[in-house]
Structure 1
Amino acid sequence: MANDHSYLLDNRQREAGVRFDALAELFDPWTLEHLERLGPARGWHCWEVGAGGPSVPAALARRVGPDGRVLVTDIDTTWLDGLAAPARGSSARIEVHRHDVAADEPPQGPFDLVHARLVLVHVTGRAEALRRMASAVRPGGLLVIEDADPALQPLACPDERGPAEELANRIRRGFRALLAERGADLAFGRTLPALLRAAGLTDVHAEGYFPVTSPACRRLEAATVRQLRDQLITGQGIAPADLDRHLENLATTELDVTTAPLITAWARRPA
């Protein structure tokens, strides 16, 4: 329904784990390159917002070392179990808590680094949530927000050269419609620089990343379609046979399917 603003891609479903693994393969190199260039340093206190999976907080923990702290939060911590265990190979203090960045006050800080990836695009009160994150950054510290901009490049297959690509793009249009019905801002990524400035931050930068094709793109697409199968059928009128054909194309051909562009924006809280 158009007034249902609950999260479309439920973390409790089995396919969510496949999605998190594919997202990590696609975006972790880009994300970690930026984080390592900006920080964190040993001893930093970091807040990873809406982590979903464990890969980025585990990397932060290795960077901050035994004197640092990594607070990991999400509204659903299903896929974060065991993150704080010593077997992760880091002596940093890792804490995992349930937290809704759109509704709850920021956790006790301040933090040297606050980071969120693919979180705010799904939050209806996204500007207020960003303000809450900015308020948790220490003077001189960093806020790094990475989010999608599906409207910037809306196609699953930019090279629509045949029936398989046309079908993929039709299904992607259905997915985008479902996101919009749940309150997602499909043009959100491009607004991040202005939102960071409005939150009182300075030294604002932003860059975009756009994976054109890879096996991880195909795995992410297949997991998303399986997870949303019922909604695509009942809410968007896509035939079950078409979904099955699309999944077969993803499994048996090198379909050049992509994701929405990821915009990475960062800024500092004035000292």
Structure 2
Amino acid sequence: MPSDSVPVSAPRFVDRPCYFRAVTDYEADQRHGKGYLLDNQQAEAGERFAALAELFDPVTFRRLRALGVADGWSCWEVGAGGPSVPGWLAERVGEKGRVLATDLDTSWMPQAGAPYEVVRHDVGADEAPEGPFDLVHARLVLVHVPQREAALRAMVRALRPGGWLLVEDADPALQPLACPDEYGPEQELANRIRRGFRALLAERGAQLAFGRTLPRLLRTAGLVDVEAEAYFPITSPVGSALEAATVRQISDRLIEGGLATAEEIEEHLAHIGAGHLDTATAPLISAWGRKPSE
């Protein structure tokens, strides 16, 4: 497991055998159509990470600042995906702090030169990394993890007394439409393709009404001072970029499942490219709570 004795300022990429089982299972699931729908191996994953960072990083960073992340903190970024959040945390905690970024697939994480640790890890199956942590954060992760409640409990156990857990997850069932203003055939097509996307997510074990449950789950896990808020972008260029990258990434699955034709997908992408659609994302629910001091 990662050691606190390693200087935080040193570039590190950790690739330890104890995590190989989870990654092997993950890759096997992807090959057999059972794993994470939006896997990191596809080229569009980088486009999605960039769009998600532009959309949601300001929300995440505002909340992390409000929680008091500061010099010397030890932080675990769960399911980091890309480098934007662990990079921000590393700047915030400084050389006296520690940032551990974990994911099932670390393909899009720096393998050298990063001021944080990178570890392959399955939060739904593997033991929590060595802590304790002042902060544990996960964004758009647990909604896709079948063992999500067990994963959340493991994250709570990894906190030091008084430490904060911040979980941010989507609630597609709360607002299921790509175009809430469905006034024409272009918007109707967009919403039909979004319904197909939701169906594929549900087949892979995603809980589409998960975001709204976070305050209750945090309290049930023993946290105090629990609060939550939602962010719901209606339309923006980056939202359109996210929609296009997502649809391209799942296009084969949509076609295989009879949820859309290749022609419909191309038509939808052309509408996005022409700027004809106000594409919304599912609400992002941010919930946070503190582990009681002993």
Contact 2:76–2:100, Cα closer than 8 Å, also in 1: yes
Deviations 1:117-168 (A, max 9, x none): 0000000010000000000000000000000000000000000011111100
Contact 1:4–1:181, Cα closer than 8 Å, also in 2: no
Work out whether 1:215 is the aligned partner of 2:237: yes
For 2:35 and 2:96, locate their aligned partners in 1 and report how far apart those are by CA, in whole Å: 38
For 2:276 and 2:138, locate their aligned partners in 1 and report how far apart those are by CA, in whole Å: 31
Q: 1:268 corresponds to which residue?
A: 290
Q: 2:20 corresponds to which residue?
A: none
Determine which of 192, 217, 224 is the counterpart of 1:202.
Answer: 224
Work out whether 1:120 is the aligned partner of 2:142: yes
Structure 1 unaligned regions, length at least 5: 87-92
Q: 1:89 corresponds to which residue?
A: none
Number of residue equivalences: 263
Task: Give the letter aligned to residue 96 of structure 1.
Answer: V
For 2:261 and 2:103, locate their aligned partners in 1 and report how far apart those are by CA, in whole Å: 34
Q: CA shift at 1:255, angstroms? A: 1.2
For 2:193 and 2:149, locate their aligned partners in 1 and report how far apart those are by CA, in whole Å: 29
Work out whether 1:166 is the aligned partner of 2:179: no
Determine which of 74, 81, 91 is the counterpart of 2:103.
Answer: 74
TM-score normalized by the length of structure 2: 0.87
Q: 2:270 corresponds to which residue?
A: 248
Task: Give the letter aligned to residue 90 of structure 2.
Answer: A
Q: CA shift at 1:4, angstroms? A: 6.0
For 1:96 and 1:71, locate their aligned partners in 2 and report how far apart those are by CA, in whole Å: 6
Q: CA shift at 1:174, angstroms? A: 0.2
The aligned runs of 1:44-59 (5 Å cut-off) are 44-59=73-88
Q: 1:85 corresponds to which residue?
A: 113
Task: Tell which deviates more after alignment, 187-196 or 3-12.
Answer: 3-12
For 1:28 and 1:187, locate their aligned partners in 2 and report how far apart those are by CA, in whole Å: 22
Q: 1:226 corresponds to which residue?
A: 248
TM-score normalized by the length of structure 1: 0.95
Task: Give the letter aligned to residue 71 of structure 2.
Answer: R
Contact 1:74–1:100, Cα closer than 8 Å, also in 2: yes
For 1:265 and 1:247, locate their aligned partners in 2 and report how far apart those are by CA, in whole Å: 33
Contact 1:208–1:262, Cα closer than 8 Å, also in 2: yes
Contact 1:5–1:124, Cα closer than 8 Å, also in 2: no
Structure 2 unaligned regions, length at least 5: 1-28
Task: Give the letter aligned to residue 37 of structure 1.
Answer: A
Q: 1:156 corresponds to which residue?
A: 178
Determine which of 51, 67, 82 is the counterpart of 1:38.
Answer: 67
For 1:13 and 1:4, locate their aligned partners in 2 and report how far apart those are by CA, in whole Å: 14
For 1:144 and 1:236, locate their aligned partners in 2 and report how far apart those are by CA, in whole Å: 38
For 1:195 and 1:8, locate their aligned partners in 2 and report how far apart those are by CA, in whole Å: 25
Work out whether 1:27 is the aligned partner of 2:60: no
| Secondary structure class of the residue paired with 1:8 | coil
Identity %: 66
For 2:251 and 2:243, locate their aligned partners in 1 and report how far apart those are by CA, in whole Å: 12
For 2:224 and 2:71, locate their aligned partners in 1 and report how far apart those are by CA, in whole Å: 24
